[in-house]
Structures are given as structure tokens and as C-alpha cells.
């Protein structure tokens, strides 16, 4: 079963895009925060959008392996568009709302709320983060396609 999963080229390509994107977050935050924090690897927001990188990489690889005229590629394109839209639309807006709600809670209570009690604010992406993630996905898919 494991060998079957690893022989699924679009799935492996998506996994590579995931690992590269999440690793790049650790590196990018290292330079912006001036400290190493591996926990950024496990975050779902930030630069670049891993959702975008992974879905674009898989979709492009499906097109390259199954054909760009295949039904499977068409389905993948539709789901990738939904993922991209959700990453920079719905999830970004929810993050913005969390910022406002956390501020309201701080204003209501004179004492500071703990970080544990705060709502998670970074859950979506800016359009630029989604774009960079999508470009990363394209690059990963092309690189994997050249290697196989």
C-alpha cells in the first residue's frame, strides 16, 4: 500500500510542494524575525501559501500525467480554483475578523488575555502569498516532471 502511494506521481508532487513551502516559511520567518522558530513549519498561514503550492503542483502534474484534456485534470482545476479563492478570500477575512475580536476582548477586559485565549489570527493569505505559492507549485511540478 505504501509503495502504491509513493508511485502516485501527482500525490508525491503535492507532498514535495508541501514540504518545500512549509520549509520556506521557516526560512522566511527566520530572516524577518531574526530568530529560528521551527514551529512556523506547522502554521497554516503566511508566505508562501502551502495550500496554493500543493494544489497547483498536483493539478499541473495531473495534467502532465493524465492529459490536459482529461476529466481528472478538469476536476483538479476546479478544486484548485476553490482552494486559491478560499485561501485569500474566506480564510483571510476570518483572520481579519479574529484580529478585531481579539482587540474587542482586550478593550472589554482591563487585564490582558493570554495568548492561549486569543483567537488564531493568521489563517488566510494575501493575494501575493497565494500567487507565490502557486508559482512554487508550478516550479515543483515542472521540476518533478523533468526528473521522472
pTM listed for this prediction: 0.78
Q: Are 85 and 122 in contact (CB under 8 A)?
A: no
- Residue 126 is predicted with a pLDDT of 83
Domain of 24, in residue numbers: 2-89+124-147
Q: Are 81 and 51 in contact (CB under 8 A)?
A: no
The predicted-structure confidence for 65-80, as pLDDT tens digits, reads as follows 999 999 999 999 999 9
Average pLDDT over residues 39-65: 91
| pLDDT averaged over every residue in the chain | 85
CA–CA separation, 46 and 91 (whole Å): 12
Report yes or no on 48 lying in a domain.
yes
List the single range of 18-22, 41-45, 88-92 with lowest mean pLDDT: 88-92
- Residue 109 is predicted with a pLDDT of 65
Report yes or no on 27 lying in a domain.
yes
Q: Give SS3 for 92.
A: helix
List the single range of 3-7, 106-110, 142-146 with lowest mean pLDDT: 106-110
Q: Give SS3 for 112.
A: coil
The predicted-structure confidence for 94-111, as pLDDT tens digits, reads as follows 666 666 766 766 766 656
Report yes or no on 137 lying in a domain.
yes
Whole-angstrom distance between the N-terminal and C-terminal Cα of the chain? 21
In total, how many domains does the chain have?
1
- Residue 147 is predicted with a pLDDT of 95
- Residue 111 is predicted with a pLDDT of 62
Report yes or no on 6 lying in a domain.
yes
Q: Is the dihedral of CA 132, 135, 141, 142 positive or negative?
A: negative
Report yes or no on 115 lying in a domain.
no
Q: Which helix (H) or strand (E) holds 83?
A: helix 71-88
Report yes or no on 109 lying in a domain.
no
CA–CA separation, 122 and 70 (whole Å): 36
- Residue 84 is predicted with a pLDDT of 92
Q: Are 58 and 10 in contact (CB under 8 A)?
A: yes
Q: Where does residue 11 rank: exposed (0-12), middle (13-18), buried (19+ CB within 10 A)?
A: middle
- Residue 137 is predicted with a pLDDT of 98
Amino acid at each position: 500500500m505504501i509503495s502504491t502511494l509513493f508511485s502516485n506521481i501527482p500525490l508525491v508532487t503535492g507532498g514535495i510542494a508541501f514540504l518545500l513551502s512549509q520549509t520556506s516559511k521557516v526560512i522566511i520567518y527566520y530572516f524577518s524575525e531574526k530568530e529560528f522558530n521551527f514551529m512556523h513549519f506547522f502554521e497554516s498561514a503566511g508566505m508562501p501559501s502551502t495550500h496554493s503550492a500543493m494544489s497547483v503542483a498536483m493539478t499541473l502534474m495531473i495534467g502532465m500525467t493524465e492529459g490536459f484534456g482529461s476529466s481528472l485534470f478538469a476536476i483538479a482545476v476546479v478544486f484548485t480554483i476553490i482552494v486559491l479563492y478560499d485561501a485569500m478570500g474566506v480564510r483571510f477575512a476570518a483572520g481579519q475578523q479574529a484580529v478585531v475580536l481579539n482587540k474587542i476582548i482586550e478593550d472589554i477586559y482591563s487585564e490582558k488575555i493570554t495568548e492561549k485565549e486569543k483567537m488564531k489570527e493568521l489563517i488566510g493569505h494575501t493575494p501575493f502569498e497565494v500567487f507565490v505559492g502557486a508559482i512554487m507549485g508550478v516550479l515543483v511540478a515542472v521540476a518533478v516532471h523533468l526528473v521522472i
